[in-house]
Chain A
Amino acid sequence: MNELSSVDRPNSYIGRSVPRPNAKRLVAGRGQYVDDLRLPRMVHVAFLRSPHAHARILSIDSAAARAAPGVVRVVTGAEMAEVCTPWVGVLHHLKGLKSAPQHALAVDRACWQGEPVVAVVARTRAEAEDAVGLVEVAWGELPATVDMEAALAEGTPVIHPALGDNLAFMREHVGGEPDACFADAESVVVQATFHTGRHTGVCLEGRAILADYNPAEGRLTAYHSNQAPHMMQTVFAKHLGLREGDVRVICRDVGGSYGIKVHVYPDEMATAALSKILGRPVKFSADRMEGMVSDIHARDHRIAARAAVTKDGVITAMEIDDLTGIGPYSVYPRTSAVEGNQVVNLCGGPYALRGYKARTTVVFQNKTPTCQYRAVGHPIATTVTEGLVDLAAEAIGMDPAELRRRNLLADDVYPFKNHANLSFEGLSHQACLTKLLAMMDYEALKAERDALRAKGVYRGIGIASFIELTNPSPFMYGIGGARISAMDGATVRLDPDGSVAIASGVTEQGQGTEAMLAQIVAGAVGVDIARVRVTTGDTETTPYGGGTWASRGAGIGGEAALQAGHALREQILVIAGAMLQAAPEALDVRGGAVVDRATGAERLPLEELGRIVYFRGDTLPKDLPRELVATRHYTPKDYPFAFTNGAQASYLEVDVETGFVTLLKHWCVEDCGTVINPMLVDEQIRGGVVQGLGGALLEHCVYSPEGQLLSGSLADYLLPMSGEMPDIQVAHVETPTKESALGAKGAGEAGTAGAPAAVQNAINDALRPFGARVFAQPFTPARILTALGKI
């Protein structure tokens, strides 16, 4: 923490595991999730969704629904289109990305099973659902394009004829001299085709919105389970014909998000539009079944990949050919091309390659749209990269940890730009790997594995190094034309009782955003953390900002809060200097009081300063500034992204008779720069790891050839349960970013980025005596038994 003298003051909470101020409310059942809120005259909407993957809407008969008890209004796509304009999910900097206009309710044609088609508003949700059952839609089924491998083939139906074909986006990148590396006669080339299974976030609180349009004011207030309130303010305004200033988005407690709740969803847009139509509050709360077909899915990729390695252990090149199916529309406004684009950016990222070649092909299909889910593209890239590294190690007969040690970027090469054109300010791959191997006692674990193998118990060890994109600058979305702020602000205010209020543009979905902000500001101002309270998630009362996604909350929102806290302290000291007839530089704020900087002797409690400023300003010099509130903003400027890094390991046992995998232990060492709250960071890592393990072993959106989701309930879609998850040991290396005084980089996605790769490598290590390998996630018992030749 030596570099951090500016934050390492008395009352500093940086680096301390402080409990979250909002947790007490949540354990008492006093959260305020959207579905908990009710407003006068509130009505509920339920949606008739397409039962077909692709079908023409020939006619809609809603007479019976309109006459049903409690029904207030039935709205079709054509009627909705008069109130809510369609959107197109493209970004200019993703060159060539195309998509078709998407409506809040399908007009003429539905393009995936689950697309909302008719909205029914009634006094209760139950009555709305009853009436949905009475709406008669005559469907004309159309051939569905389901298999992404066939999406571009001759004869496959083109989903949007106006676009010409089913290709949404393609990007090819070549860096260095990959062809020469692969042609080198002295090198060994290893290859495999990887599949990452389509899965989704399953936030325990489904998506929800309570939209309240007040026609008297012409203003919309949306209580929204969402990560990016300012982005939604823009979107609602633009597509409902309102001014941004007439839209207020409030995100109170959010019951899980993980990137699922940062996108524009047609049913949520329809709900806001219905409130405008009806002039009264309308609530939509997605139930689990409709969430499974309408929340964004992710990670539906097939990646053919190869790597060249010299016989003495230098990995020289990687080549990646990625194909991904994104559903019928690129999701607005972040687009569905980012995931494939990230695969191109991130593969091979931890390594000092001489050549790199990558391509992503992003195609339309008639399945639920995909978009950014926690650790966007990272688990895919890490699975491919680390799978290739293990294959290379096996091919040349080298220990996989040793091969990594020889090829990971050295810790002293930074700043460094790699062949994917990523710029790294400072990473710690070698230090993380060293710490990981020590933490897991790698040599002892290998000995145990080998001893058990001799007894017919098949255990495996898998390691995965990774990089993680955090703290995105405007290069992520802003340059592509999306009004998604890369900047965040914080306002910090001293109230007369000596307490401090923070309002921040970053948002809280359980990560501990509010704790992090309170810790930073308490230290920056010089007060006990118990005197600090935090407001987030309200476009009307917080500074403009991006919200919480892409691991940006602490690094960007935290830095803004730090600067605002420092500014408030300076304001306090100027006023205190005048009151105490002392030089401000000779004073400090500690423990909620102005003190003598040199001796620490208390001179003036903040509540006394507050009393004088607010109630007895007549006693202060006339020209003395009296501001006790400061706002500061921060946006990263030196680097497009603050990359972080880490290494994970998995130890597991495969039952070669049943194909079942038992996870025994998981380790993660990661480097998010300055650790503000070790406990919260560790829990971000652990939660992220388990979401990665879910995708690796359990979670799968399985579709029929006709485009019907076959795993659309939680009885069919398997989620990690506590009984099958391992203990997860977490450690850190700290390489603070020099871009900010705080030095914090993101930590929210590191766990998810590396876990599937570690598990893949561990399973293949366990299967090595049988010459069997699996590369298709989820690694189900059936797939493992197939690899073993047993079924």
Chain B
Amino acid sequence: MASLSHKDLLGIEQLSVEDIQLILDTAEALREVAARPVKKVPTLRGKTVVNLFFEPSTRTRSSFELAEKRLSADILNFSASTSSVTKGETLLDTAHNLEAMSPDIIVIRHQSAGAPHLLGRECRASIVNAGDGMHEHPTQALLDGLTVRTIKGRLDGLKVAIIGDVAHSRVVRSDTILFSRMGADVWVCGPPTLLPWEFEKLGARTTPHMEEAMDGADVIMMLRVQHERQNEAFFPSAREYASLYGLTRERMRSAKKGAIVMHPGPINRGVEIESEVADADYSVILNQVSNGVAARMAVLYLLSGNSGLEP
């Protein structure tokens, strides 16, 4: 018997090394379900999962939805564009209304950091953070950890370079905490205007020089340039960004032998990553997508026993 000691998955921050290992082990066991002719197990039969997405999301949402379906849960989808949020309902009112329908798990993505935490305090259902503002995106970090562990066999002692638009990325926060907690050497790199130095507090080293970050790295993780989150100009042009921080074949030539390239997607071909690099053998971007379903199944499975605990 093993279990997460938490009712909710709000961030990697709250997870211990043992928690992370348990989730990754469980995800590894669940990966086999995707290879079956009948890609469904009855484990969450009769459980209701609400997907509450206040921000547009295609891949995270469909990944969660597939994970829920493969575990036979009943699913209720709410998205900001179709729900009464647009009619002025507060988040708390939405939560209480949902709670009245007695769901077991609520998966939430929200533009404000801390929204899942608020729900976690108010609801009996287990809350899964599917991304809150620029704060955390724990299931993305878990699938990244699973992908690296599967290929490299371990996480400790690896050098992980995370490069790009660090400031606007919740993925990099969760990834930094997860990889450094698991004993990896995490380097965070980006243009100085997009690189908060506070990352050193999370256990990472920061550098504005891509060569320094990439030197000897076992894992090179490129972040998406989030045009939609940038109201001001953080760099002069996409072309200049690509020449200084884009992952090109040229740069990959000096990379450590056996290094893998990751990207949380969706990729901007030709901006942060060259097309040929994204499609090369060392790119594991599509492994990340399939591992995403397994990691989310693991989280849902492990939390499903904990809903109804005291918030």
Q: Do chains A and B stick together as partners?
A: no
Binding site for A on B (CB under 8 A): none
